[in-house]
Amino acid sequence: MSDSPTNPFELMMKQAQDMAKAMNPAMENFSPKGFEALWPTMPKEVMEMMFGNAVNKDGLDAKTRLLLTLAGLTCQGAQADTAVRQTVRHALEAGARKQEIVETIGQMSVFAGIPAMTRALDLAQEVMGDNEDEDQ
């Protein structure tokens, strides 16, 4: 029996990995998680200008928008690891407390299910664990 993948997605991934190794052998150990470090957290003022109520004075502030984004990412099954971690990081910067982040994710268990909630909480904890000095 051969070790070649039978699933079309696995086959595609194997072909992409082989091609990357042929073009650049160092790509064999590449991890997309390293890209997160290249994207700094935006200051709260920038988030308010771009995503907050700077344009729409009666609209949602950046913290609320980011908590809603986190809820949506959780409802999608928390499959986008980087997006969840970045959203948590930005929500903290925008003034969200850890408790608010956990409650937002927990509330989504009703809509997305316990596995999605657990996955999102694990990803959020990766970020919040780095910020132990933040208030609970």
- Taking only the tens place, the pLDDT of each residue in 18-76 is 887 788 777 666 666 666 666 677 777 776 776 666 667 777 888 998 999 999 999 99
At 131, is the secondary structure helix, strand, or coil?
A: helix
The structure tokens listed for 16 are 């992409």
HSE-up (13 A, CA, CB side) for residue 60: 10
pLDDT digits (tens, 9 = 90+) for 2-14: 566 677 878 887 8
Residues of the chain with CATH 1.20.1290.10: 39-131
Residues 6+ apart with CB under 8 A from 63: 91, 94, 95, 96
C-alpha 29/C-alpha 42 separation (Å) is 29
C-alpha 4/C-alpha 123 separation (Å) is 32
Domain 39-131 has CATH 1.20.1290.10: yes
Entry pTM: 0.66
